[in-house]
Amino acid sequence: MSGKLIIISAPSGSGKSTLINHLVEKGFDFTFSISATSRAPRGKEQNGVEYYFLSLDEFRKAIEENRFLEYEEVYPGCFYGTLKEPIDNALKAGKNVILDIDVKGALNVKRLYPTLATTIFIQPPSVEALRERLIGRQTDSMEMIEKRVAKAAQEIAEANKFDVIIINDKLEQAQQDIVREVKSIIEA
Ligand code: 5GP
């Protein structure tokens, strides 16, 4: 039997990584899709771990060769995309795959795999709460925070296009919700 695709999207600062880590701690057995990107590695990022880091030329060649399930220019000059081959291999091997991509990418993949894919949107309780979390994290300038908040507001406006919405207000509740939803997706 084919595995399932679980596509998780969330504005930055909505607690997505914490919730995905919780699923791993609960013992769910997933293959994580590793995206390709033309951006340079940050900090300790390694090729084939966080991303497959491609040059812009390599990325363009992969587009021409039709190797992407979906791709996007997320920031000007910075491409991100999901490669077809590893996803198809994992699904054929009966593995469940988690994709952590942005809203546009998520909705595109859902169109390609309408029955195998379930889209989950992690929603912060409010744009204001998100801004406070981003300020508290102390990793971005105020200018960058406002850019992220503006993108978040756009993404939240599309949340109703997702199969499942998890509101991450109280972490424990959100953890329970995501475990329940993912269980029902995998067992369906
Ligand atoms: P970052 O550069 O911070 O790792 O990621 C920037 C943005 O690119 C995030 O919003 C992330 O969801 C999105 N992203 C990462 N991989 C993919 C992908 O394969 N496809 C699409 N459409 N977006 C992606």
Q: In angstroms, how far apart are the furthest CA atoms of the chain? A: 48
Cβ(81) – ligand 1 distance below 6 Å: yes
pTM confidence score: 0.90
What atom of ligand 1 comes closest to residue 9's alpha carbon? 12
pLDDT for 164: 98
Q: Hey, which residues does 119 pair with through a beta bridge?
A: 7
pLDDT for 15: 86
pLDDT by residue for the chain (188 residues), tens only, comes to 789 999 999 987 788 889 999 999 999 989 999 999 999 998 889 999 999 999 999 999 999 999 999 999 987 788 999 999 999 999 999 999 999 999 999 999 999 999 999 999 999 888 898 899 889 888 778 888 888 888 889 999 999 999 999 999 999 999 999 999 999 999 88
78: Cβ contacts below 8 Å, ≥ 6 apart: 37, 38, 39
pLDDT for 133: 86
Which residue has its alpha carbon closest to ligand 1 atom 15? 101
Contact 37, 51 (CB under 8 A): yes
Cβ(14) – ligand 1 distance below 6 Å: no
Amino acid at 181: E
Q: Which residue bears the tokens 């029902």?
A: 184
Q: How far apart are CA 159 and CA 165, in angstroms?
A: 7
Q: How far apart are CA 12 and CA 42, in angstroms?
A: 16
Q: Among 122, 94, 80, which residue's Cα sits nearest to residue 31?
A: 94
Cβ(140) – ligand 1 distance below 6 Å: no
For 81, the 3-state DSSP assignment is strand
